[in-house]
A and B are shown apart, each in its own frame.
Chain A
Amino acid sequence: MASTTQLAAPPAEPATSSERVTRRGKSPGMRPNIIGALGGWFWLAVIILPVYYVIITSLKDQAGFFTTNPMLPPAEPTLSNYKLVLEQDFAQYFANSLIVTIGSVIPALLVSFMAAYAIVRGSGWFVSSTNKLFLLGLAIPLHATIIPIYWMITRAQMYDTLLALILPSIAFAIPISVLILSNFMRDVPNELFESMRLDGCSDWTMMWRLALPLMRPAVVTVGIYNALHVWNGFLFPLILTQSPSTRVLPLSLWTFQDEFTANIPAVLASVVLATLPLLVLYVVARRQLLSGLTAGFSK
């Protein structure tokens, strides 16, 4: 996109300026893309409809849920469902999710960043085979390993603790993190490293003082991407925890389903509440996340 606008930038001569205007009008397509626009708006409707349904239903009381039209907002919106959910130890589950997410994402970023630095700046069989191993990890459905992980966690006396969720989450985040971070690391100009080396800096210094500040957008992107995965993770909590004191949000949604049975508005209120933190994060960091992900995966 950026390069298109650059190419359409004004040339000096007035003779070409009229051509520029028409070209800019045409660029990047020619006529307005009506079919594309229709498809784009249609998909937006597909995306929004369930979200709309969840939100309006969560604002209905139980009687209203059974009597009003399901697709119309309630005449008298109520927050009572939210109150009910918040009274069900929601804060505890929220805190657990927060601990597990931060506890996994920060260490995963740290070790992946160091590994990406070694892989891109270093050489030799060790780093190249480590890199190959991580890439292989992308091709393997790692969830197939839940039974040995369950065995390890129980043997290590960690069953039903938050640490049991954190440790495998770190490991599972590493392959994709290393891949994206090393893609970005390759873009850091070699001259910068060389000039720092001439100043007598060690690799350790260059990694934290040069590579990290330059790659901050990539690190943030990878961090948010991993946070999404860990925050929404369901399988590890399902097999590695059991008591309410270690319950995380996605699992709590599932248990709310049983506790509230017919109270669909309350269940959907819990869905909204569990998603809210990520929504806030997304609103704040969407530009960074989207541009980072598009760049990170298509190199």
Chain B
Amino acid sequence: MASMISTRRRALSRGPSGWLAVPALVFFLVFAVIPLVGVLFLSFTSWDGLGEIRLDGMSSWAAVLTDPVTGNALVVTAKIIVFSFIAQAPISLLLGVFTSGAQKYRAALAVLYFVPLLLSSAAVAIAFKALLDPNFGMGPGLGIPALTQDWLGNSDLVLFVVVFVIAWQFVPFHTLIYQGGVRQIPASLYEAAQIDGAGRIKQFFHVTLPQLKYTMITSSTLMVVGSLAYFDLVFVLTAGGPGYSTRLLPLHMYLTGFKANDMGAASALGVILVVIGLVLALLLQRLGGRNRSASQLEGA
């Protein structure tokens, strides 16, 4: 017994046992890694969700790749990623810099900015559906004709409405990330810049922005990869419509699998989703050069 303890001590003196990581690893393997392999496997089968799963070669892939709706879903997804990035990134950055200021009221504003994150996407979608209603929403309420539109029924407008609602819900989160990033910039850098006579705008471009490089990569990665997960918001807000105008990839996958009962094709769409996510994440990491998160990803 005593010798057992002493060997254990010696092993422990090199640090804790890897066993401590095993429970988390098991959960993650069973409910994330195995399904990830499973989605690839299921893309080569045909399955209606209830009956037998039959191996079916490339037929699901052929169906998915020749279906014009897939192409459309990819375009809609790309648009949402790009537009919601363009909408969110500058606002989050500026608000993050703003709320990191020393003034008390800025911190109070930051507390209020967080409120949209408390709502579920379903709740946000329902609220905006009512708010945007051309008869009983904000347009007639405020008496502004430009705001009185069939926002969700007009296929030219609806995508921008979706982007706006996404920004409304997720800008607060990225603001928080930037706020934290700004607070870690050493004050001495600003003092040096001030001594050199740099004004606020110069300080922003020459101190704040360069110092926020890693924060930008973190936030952008979460933003872009997050765009691939906008499901519930769009599902409740527009259900992909009108027509196919907001049917983005995750929604297309859900509808193909659980409404059209074609799990094989839906799995192929799932694989496409994973590949896009990985490629975008790696691209963003490369874009930022070797940085902390990249070296973490590579285990360096």
Contact = CB atoms under 8 A, between A and B. Distances in A.
B102 A130 contact: no
B250 A39 contact: no
Nearest to A275: B119
Contacts of A63: none
A115 B20 contact: yes
Contact of A118 (B20, B119, B266, B299): B20
Interface residues of B, number: 121
A65 interface: yes
B24 A279 contact: no
Contacts of A142: 32, 229
Contacts of B82: none
A264 B129 CA distance: 10
B94 A39 contact: yes
Interface in A32-55: 33, 36-37, 39-41, 43-44, 46-51, 53-54
Residue among B101, B122, B292 with the most chain A CB within 10 A? B122
Interface string A232-273: 111100110000000001110110010000001001100100
B273 interface: yes
Interface string B166-210: 001001100011111101101110110010000110000000000
Given A7-B188, A119-B21, 12 more contacts: A28-B190, A40-B99, A57-B130, A71-B138, A121-B16, A144-B228, A202-B8, A231-B120, A234-B120, A257-B236, A286-B111, A298-B177
Interface of B: 8-9, 12-21, 23-25, 27-28, 30-36, 38-39, 41-42, 49, 53, 91, 94-95, 97-102, 106, 109-123, 126-128, 130-131, 133, 136-138, 140-142, 168, 171-172, 176-181, 183-184, 186-188, 190-191, 194, 199-200, 214-215, 218-219, 221-222, 225, 228-229, 231-232, 235-236, 250, 253-254, 257-258, 263, 266-267, 270-271, 273-274, 277-278, 281-282, 292-293, 296-299
10 contacts: A7-B191, A33-B101, A72-B141, A122-B21, A138-B281, A147-B257, A171-B32, A271-B126, A275-B118, A279-B115
Q: Top 5 closest A-B pairs, CB basis? A: A294-B180, A148-B38, A71-B141, A171-B31, A139-B281
